[in-house]
Chain A
Amino acid sequence: AQSVAQPEDQVNVAEGNPLTVKCTYSVSGNPYLFWYVQYPNRGLQFLLKYITGDNLVKGSYGFEAEFNKSQTSFHLKKPSALVSDSALYFCAVRVSYGNNRLAFGKGNQVVVIP
């Protein structure tokens, strides 16, 4: 079955330091991968996606993610974290072709310390 895993529960990082949120995937065929962010009591906001092409994908708010086929990973990165980046981050993979259903990872709470 198509799935993603986010191994960490919480990521703590000092403001200004690089931020990395990890995601690994398990799919048959080519993966369609996504990152979303959720602020408290809000829906999810789309950050970026990998469908095909360059392995380094740039998204919203200065985030980027690197698709690594050999390691089956799609880690989210930001060179310099802001306090406002503190939120819940979800990695997702497309699990059906017809209607593009997504399967989400468990989520990672990111805490950026001032």
Chain B
Amino acid sequence: DAGVTQSPTHLIKTRGQHVTLRCSPISGHKSVSWYQQVLGQGPQFIFQYYEKEERGRGNFPDRFSARQFPNYSSELNVNALLLGDSALYLCASSPRTDNQPQHFGDGTRLSIL
């Protein structure tokens, strides 16, 4: 069975541009979460979606947005990119929003020039 898949794997953008990152959860998983991980830090929570509704939002500016589609895949959008947005963006899925652990995709490594 396929795990969590993310695309693209790597991306280079310049300041002020916009980016869309994509995630497909494990089959049967309805909850998708997005995290940002900068070098030397643990992942920081950005969004959680369940059944196409936003269930949680971390401390990130409004430049960050996301959505979940009927097939439970998800997109993370970031507008007006800043140098500080350079990071590994991780998507994680779980069957529900309960106490079960989440399973991560390989991530998208975003570099802002």
Q: Does A associate with B in a complex?
A: no
Report B's interface with A, CB cutoff 8 A.
none
Report A's interface with B, CB cutoff 8 A.
none
